[in-house]
Amino acid sequence: MNKPISLTEFILDEEKRFPKAKGNFTLLLSQLEYAGKIIASHLRKAGLVDILGKTGEKNVYEEEVVKLDQLSNDILLQTLTSSQQVHAVASEELEDIHVVEKHNGEYLVFLDPLDGSSNVDVNLTIGTIFSIYHRSDSLLQPGNKQVASGYILYGTSVMFVYTSGKGVHGFTLDPSIGTFLLSHPDIRIPDEGDIYSLSEANSIGFDGPMTSYLQSMKQGRKQLKARYSGTMVADMHRVLLKGGIFLYPSDPVHYPEGKLRLLFEVNPLSFLIQHAGGKAVCRRGNPLEITPESLHQRSDIAIGSRKNVEEYESFLNG
Ligand code: AHG
Ligand code: MN
Ligand code: MN
């Protein structure tokens, strides 16, 4: 039997390719991995201890904060701010970027501590999304400057999926030894797929091109499958492995700018999908080329298999 490769071994091996690397990136990813394991251990007990339900507070988007949003945010923040690697951390749950004064860290980390909060109380898949940049003059940089991005998925099993620009790799937590082991090396998204993932509940607000696109998808080709869980990262993970498209369009009735957060959701997953051979677009073009104007800026998004996204684009551009 071949010895399985752990996430730590894998990252260390990647680092060897950069003779000048000092190990900071490896340590940063290890801290994210560690925080993910702690969050996962709390989630596994949800329902038995008092961590389900809402806190009664609202976040910057006027969304109700669930207790596990808060807990995940605190665990990640404590882990990262005590690390020597981080210059600043930003979270979907915090109004402002938290600059770590006492360390002269090299990296900026953007977090959606818990994606899919509405699925917490009903025991469905949720995740943590992360996005890493080098420290630079501006705290807000376009997504194509990301050094790495990825997510931890709390599903049937716990997975850590990431890219640092050299392929997308997936690791599954072996609970018996508490270690993430390489289970999905070099993930490539199929060039085309039959899954479409969006909230058609918003369709009353969709404009002409979007309505025609949806109509055309359902006509005259092999049977499509609709899959939408309310957790973007889980829906995206399915699209990554099986092929297809995930959309959260803007629409004037519900979300004129789109719903999803550019820095916390759209950019990390766009960067990752691009490195798996897929594509992401928004109405402004490539989301990764947008220079953010504010921390909590939203964007529309269509992301997934190259052919599916190009088909969507052909409607968008008339
Ligand atoms: P979060 O739980 O971090 O607030 O994100 C929820 C996001 C995304 O994960 C999901 O695809 C979408 O919001 C669901 O929105 P609708 O409830 O409008 O379908
Ligand atoms: Mn989210
Ligand atoms: Mn969230």
Can you list the domains of the chain with their CATH numbers? 7-184 (3.30.540.10), 195-317 (3.40.190.80)
pLDDT for the residue 256: 95
CB 306, CB 240: distance < 8 Å: no
Q: Which residues line ligand 1 (CB under 6 A)?
A: 63, 92, 112, 115-117, 199, 230-232, 259
Cα 137 to Cα 104, 108, 134, 247, 257, distances in angstroms: 14, 11, 10, 33, 27
- Kindly state the average pLDDT of the residues 120-128: 95
pLDDT for the residue 65: 87
CB 32, CB 130: distance < 8 Å: yes
For residue 259, the ligand 1 atom closest to its alpha carbon is 13
For the whole model, what pTM was predicted? 0.97
- Kindly state the average pLDDT of the residues 148-174: 97
- Kindly state the average pLDDT of the residues 279-297: 97
Amino acid at 234: A
* Mean pLDDT (the chain, rounded): 94
Q: Which of 129, 237, 265 to mutate for ligand 1's pocket (most ligand atoms within 8 Å of CB)?
A: 265
List strand residue ranges (DSSP E) for the chain, in order.
Answer: 54-58, 64-66, 86-91, 98-99, 107-115, 126-134, 146-154, 158-163, 168-174, 179-184, 195-197, 225-226, 245-248, 260-261, 279-281, 298-299, 301-304
pLDDT for the residue 50: 81
pLDDT for the residue 2: 83
Give me the residues near ligand 2 (ion), CB cutoff below 5 Å.
Answer: 112, 115
For residue 201, the ligand 1 atom closest to its alpha carbon is 19
3-state SS, one letter per residue, for 21-90: CCCHHHHHHHHHHHHHHHHHHHHCCECCECCCCEEEEECCCCCEEEHHHHHHHHHHHHHHHCCCCEEEEE
Q: If you take atom 13 of ligand 1, which residue's CA is the nearest one? A: 230
For residue 61, the ligand 1 atom closest to its alpha carbon is 4
For residue 229, the ligand 1 atom closest to its alpha carbon is 11
Percent of the chain surpassing pLDDT 90: 82
User: β-strand 168-174 against 158-163: which pairing, if any?
Assistant: antiparallel
| Cα 232 to ligand 2 centre (Å) | 7
Q: If you take atom 18 of ligand 1, which residue's CA is the nearest one? A: 199
